């Protein structure tokens, strides 16, 4: 949700108005043609553009209630957001995502603002690729942070990082391999064996879901 940090959430007139704003949050600057093709796919161009214009009006009207209307910039061909005028946890995450694992404070902040689902679980098909990239980057940070803590002999914290990564994606091969290797190196054979069973790496007639293990130990 885009808002002033710690501020009030915006109430949208309709799901399509909210979706348009979400699309702009992701794209920042995008052509009217692309928006029409994406949000009104299959509509005749003139009708799609008419819907777009009215939806832009309601986005601006919603922002106006908070004095934020100037962050929406429109031209004949383009619609943009002035990201300097708004706070968005997505933008903060993207700014931090490459190096956050290197410092304690930034890693904790990254974990705080990453809530697992882009747009709080709203299923916009156009956002799936973006959501996958964000999850991939978060897992990468967690694994690197785990490695760093291992190097510093902070094994309990390293384990928590690896478990967190696997919780985000229980079938992530890199995360499961890293955790199994960690248990092997630190002599935690019982946990290693249990995790192997849970993620289906050992032959078994019935393999429980990996999250059963994670809920016990995360």
SS (H, E, C) the chain: CECCCCCCCCCCCCHHHHHHHHHHHHHCEEEHHHHHHHHCCCCCHHHHHHHHHHHHHHHHHHHHCCCCHHHEEECCCEEEECHHHCCEHHHHHHHHCCCHHHCHHHHHHHHHHCCCCHHHHCCCHHHHHHHHHHHHHHHHHHHHHHHHHHHCCCHHHHHHHHHHHHHHCCCCHHHHHHHHHHHHHCCCHHHHHHHHHHCCCCCCCCCCCHHHHHHHHC
- Give CA separation, 132 vs 115, 116, 168, in Å: 13, 10, 11
Q: Would you say 29 and 67 are in contact if contact means Cβ atoms under 8 Å apart?
A: no
Query: The whole model's pTM is what?
Result: 0.80
Q: What is the pLDDT of residue 173?
A: 85
CA distance 216 to 214: 5
pLDDT at 98 (0 to 100):
87
pLDDT tens digit at each of 218 positions of the chain: 444 445 567 889 999 999 999 999 999 999 999 999 999 999 999 999 999 999 999 999 999 988 888 999 999 999 999 998 888 899 999 999 888 998 899 999 999 999 877 887 788 999 999 999 999 999 999 999 999 999 999 999 999 999 999 999 988 888 999 999 999 999 999 999 888 888 775 434 444 555 444 544 44
CA atoms within 13 A on the CB side of 93: 25
In the chain, the domains with their CATH numbers are 15-85 (1.10.10.10), 89-217 (1.25.40)
How long a stretch of residues is the chain? 218
Predicted pLDDT of residue 116: 76
**Residue-level pLDDT at 55:** 97
Q: What is the predicted pLDDT for the residue at 205?
A: 46
Other residues' Cβ atoms within 10 Å of the Cβ of residue 65:
11
Tell me which residue has tokens 């990453």: 114
Token pair 């404070």 in the structure block, residue: 105
Please say whether the beta carbons of 198 and 208 come within 8 A. Answer: yes
pLDDT at 4: 44
The two tokens of residue 41 are 């796919």
């Amino acid at each position: 949700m885009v808002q002033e940090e710690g501020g009030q959430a915006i109430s949208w007139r309709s799901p399509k108005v909210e979706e348009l704003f979400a699309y702009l949050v992701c794209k920042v600057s995008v052509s009217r043609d692309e928006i029409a093709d994406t949000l009104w796919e299959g509509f005749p161009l003139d009708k799609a553009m008419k819907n777009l214009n009215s939806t832009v009006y309601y986005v601006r009207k919603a922002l106006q209630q908070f004095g934020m209307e100037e962050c929406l910039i429109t031209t004949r061909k383009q619609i943009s957001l002035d990201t300097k005028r708004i706070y968005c946890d997505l933008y903060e995450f993207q700014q931090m995502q490459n190096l956050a694992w290197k410092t304690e404070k930034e890693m904790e902040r990254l974990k705080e603002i990453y809530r697992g689902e882009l747009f709080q679980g709203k299923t916009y098909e156009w956002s799936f690729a973006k959501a996958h990239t964000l999850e991939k980057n978060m897992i990468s940070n967690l694994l690197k942070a785990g490695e760093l803590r291992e190097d510093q002999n902070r094994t309990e914290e390293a384990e928590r990082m690896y478990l967190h990564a696997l919780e985000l994606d229980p079938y992530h091969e890199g995360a499961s391999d890293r955790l199994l290797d960690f248990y092997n190196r630190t002599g935690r054979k019982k946990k290693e064996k249990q995790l192997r069973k849970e993620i289906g790496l050992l032959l078994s007639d019935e393999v429980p879901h990996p999250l059963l293990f994670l809920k016990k130990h995360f």
